[in-house]
A and B are shown apart, each in its own frame.
Chain A
Amino acid sequence: MSTNTIISLPDQTTARIPKDNFITRENGLLSWLLTGDHKRIAILYLISITFFFFIGGALAGLIRLELLTPQTDLMATDTYNKVFTMHGIIMIFFFLVPSVPATLGNFFIPMMIGAKDLALPKINLLSWYLYMAGGILAVYTMASGGVDTGWTFTTPLSTHYVNTNVLTTGLAVFIAGFSSILTGLNFIVTIHKMRAPGMTWFRLPLFIWAHYAASILMVLATPVVAIAIVLVALERTFGIGVFDPTKGGDPLLFQHLFWFYSHPAVYIMILPGMGVISEVISTFSRKRIFGYTAVAFSSVAIAVFGFFVWAHHMFIMGISNYAVLVFSLLTMLVAVPSAIKIFNWTFTLYKGSITFETPMLYAFGFLGLFTIGGMTGVFLGSSGTDIHLTETYFIVAHFHFVMVGGMLMAFLAGIHFWWPKITGRMYPEKISQFAAVVTFIGFNLTFFPQFILGVLGMPRRYASYPPEFQVLNVFSTAGATILGVGYLMPVLYLIWSLKYGAIAGNNPWQATGLEWQTQSPPLTENFAVMPVMDHEAYDYEWLEQQQQAHKETEAPHAG
Chain B
Amino acid sequence: MPDNTVTSKGALGAAKNADSADNADILHADHPPYLRHHFNSAEQQADAASFAMWLFLLTEVMFFGGLFTAYLIYRNWYYPAFVAGSHQLNVVWGTTNTFVLIFSSFTMAMGVWCAETRRRKGLVLCLTLTFILGLCFLGIKTIEYREKVEMHHVPGFHYSLQSFLDPASNPEVFKEYHDKPLALDMARHTEIYFSLYFLMTGMHAVHMIIGIGILAFMIFRARAGAYTAGHVTFVENFGLYWHFVDIVWIYLFALLYLISRHQ
Interface residues, chain A, CB within 8 Å of chain B? 20, 25, 114-121, 123, 181, 185-186, 188-190, 192-194, 197, 219-224, 226-228, 230-231, 234, 238-242, 247-250, 253, 256-257, 260, 506, 514, 517-519, 523-525, 527-534, 546-547, 549-550, 553
Whether B156 pairs with A550 at a CB distance below 8 angstroms is no
Q: Is B11 an interface residue (CB 8 A)?
A: yes
Contact A240 B37 (CB under 8 A): no
* Cβ proximity bits B37-72 to A, threshold 8 Å, 1 near / 0 not: 111100010011101100110111011111101100
Q: How far is the CA of A242 from the CA of B12 in the complex (A)?
A: 59
Give the residues in chain B near A194, CB-CB below 8 Å: 38-39, 44, 48
Query: In the bound complex, what is the Cα–Cα distance between A114 and B1 (angstroms)?
Result: 15
- Whether B59 pairs with A228 at a CB distance below 8 angstroms is no
Contact B52 A530 (CB under 8 A): no
Q: Does the CB pair A241–B65 fall under 8 Å?
A: no
Cα-based distance from A222 to B14 in the complex (angstroms): 41
A119 to B15, CA, bound (A): 21
With contact pairs A248-B191, A546-B13, A549-B13 given, residues A221 and B78 touching in the complex (Cβ less than 8 Å): no
Q: Which chain B residues numbered 1 to 18 have a C-beta less than 8 Å away from chain A?
A: 1, 5-18
CA distance A132 to B195 in the complex (A): 33
Q: Does the CB pair A223–B60 fall under 8 Å? A: yes
Inter-chain contact A231/B73, CB cutoff 8 Å = no
Contact A553 B13 (CB under 8 A): yes
* Contacting pair B11 A114 (CB below 8 A): yes
Which of A25, A257, A531 meets B11, CB within 8 Å?
A: A531
Q: How far is the CA of A193 from the CA of B203 in the complex (A)?
A: 32
In the complex, A517→B74 CA distance in Å? 58
Residues of A within 8 A of B157 (CB): 238
A546 and B1 contacting across the interface, CB-CB below 8 Å: no
Q: Please measure, in the bound complex, the distance between the C-alpha atom of A190 and the C-alpha atom of B44, giving whole angstroms.
A: 11
Chain A nearest Cβ from B58, distance in angstroms: 6
Pick the residue among A120, A222, A553 that contacts B48 (CB under 8 A). Answer: A120
Q: Hey, which chain A residues are within 8 Å of B49, CB to CB? A: 120
Is B66 a contact of A227 with CB atoms below 8 Å? yes
Q: Which single residue of chain A is at the shortest CB-CB distance from B189? A: A248
Contacts A238-B156, A238-B157 given; indicate if A189 touches B48 (C-beta within 8 A): yes
- CB-CB nearest in chain B for A120: B52
A185-B55, A222-B59, A248-B188 as given contacts; A528 in contact with B155, CB under 8 Å: no
Q: Chain B interface (Cβ within 8 Å of chain A)?
A: 1, 5-20, 23, 27, 36-40, 44, 47-49, 51-52, 55-56, 58-60, 62-67, 69-70, 73-74, 77-78, 81, 155-157, 188-189, 191-192, 195-196, 198-199, 203
Known contacts A116-B38, A546-B12; is-contact A20 B73 (Cβ 8 Å): no
| B11 pairs with A119, CB closer than 8 A | no
Cβ contacts A to B, 23 pairs, < 8 Å: A114-B11, A117-B38, A185-B55, A188-B55, A189-B48, A194-B44, A219-B59, A220-B59, A240-B155, A240-B156, A240-B195, A241-B155, A247-B192, A248-B74, A248-B81, A248-B188, A256-B69, A519-B18, A528-B16, A529-B8, A529-B18, A532-B7, A550-B16
Residues in B neighbouring A553, C-beta threshold 8 A: 13
Interchain CB contact under 8 A, A242 and B199: yes
Q: Is the CB of A519 within 8 A of B48?
A: no
Partner of A185, one of B56, B69, B78, B191: B56
Are B192 and A242 neighbours in the complex by a CB distance under 8 Å? yes
Once A188-B55, A223-B59, A249-B192 are accepted as A-B contacts, the answer to whether A193 and B47 lie under 8 Å apart by CB is yes
- Those 9 A-B pairs whose CB atoms lie nearest each other, nearest first: A528-B18, A531-B11, A227-B66, A117-B38, A223-B63, A238-B156, A116-B38, A223-B62, A240-B195
Contact of B15 (CB < 8 Å), options: A116, A186, A529: A529
Is B195 touching A241 in the complex (CB atoms < 8 A)? Answer: yes
**How many whole Å from B20's CB to the nearest CB in chain A?**
5
A257 vs chain B, min Cβ distance (A): 5
A242 to B195 alpha-carbon distance, docked (Å)? 7
Name the residue of chain A whose CB is nearest to the CB of B37: A116
Determine how close the nearest CB of chain A comes to the CB of B125; give it in whole angstroms: 30
Bound-state Cα–Cα, A219 to B63, Å: 10
A189-B52 in contact (CB<8A): yes
When the two chains form their complex, are residues B15 and A517 in contact, meaning their CB atoms are under 8 A apart? yes
In the complex, chain A residues whose CB is within 8 Å of the CB of B19: 528
Whether A517 contacts B156 in the complex (CB less than 8 A), given A227-B63, A528-B23, comes out as no
Q: Across the interface, name the chain A residue whose C-beta is closest to B68.
A: A227
State how many angstroms separate the Cβ of B42 from the closest Cβ of chain A: 13
Cβ of B60: which chain A residues have Cβ within 8 Å of it? 223
Knowing A241-B155, A531-B14, the reply to whether A231 touches B199 (Cβ < 8 A) is yes
- Given contact pairs A253-B73, A533-B11, a sample of 7 additional A-B residue pairs in the complex whose CB atoms are under 8 Å apart: A231-B199, A238-B155, A241-B195, A248-B188, A257-B69, A518-B15, A531-B14
Q: Please tell me which one of the listed residues B27, B44, B69, B189 contacts residue A193 in the complex, with CB atoms under 8 A apart.
A: B44
> Most chain-B CB neighbours within 10 Å: which of A20, A226, A240, A257?
A240
Are B63 and A226 in touch, CB under 8 angstroms?
A: yes
Question: How far is A156 from B13 in the complex, measured between Cα atoms in Å?
Answer: 63
Contacts of A219 in B (CB 8 A): 55, 58-59, 62
Q: How far is the CB of B124 from chain A (nearest CB, A)?
A: 26
A120, B67: Cα distance in complex, Å: 29
Question: Is the beta-carbon distance between B73 and A519 smaller than 8 angstroms?
Answer: no
Instruction: Tell me the minimal C-beta distance from B198 to chain A in angstroms.
Output: 8
- Whether B14 contacts A527 by the Cβ 8 Å rule is yes
**A481 to B156 CA separation, bound complex (whole angstroms):** 49
B195 in contact with A253 (CB, 8 Å): no
- Docked Cα-Cα span, A116 to B191, in Å, equals 54
Cα distance A524–B20 in the bound complex, in angstroms: 9
Chain A residues contacting B74 (CB-CB under 8 Å) are 242, 248-249
**A20 and B20: CB pair below 8 A?**
yes
Q: Which residues of chain A come closer than 8 Å to B199, judged between CB atoms? A: 231, 234, 240, 242
Interchain CA distance A534-B10 in the complex, whole Å? 7
Contact A197 to B7, CB < 8 A, known contacts A242-B199, A550-B13: yes
- Give Cα A480–Cα B255 distance, bound, in whole angstroms: 54
Measured between beta carbons, the chain B residues less than 8 angstroms from A230 are: 203
Chain A residue nearest in CB terms to B185:
A248
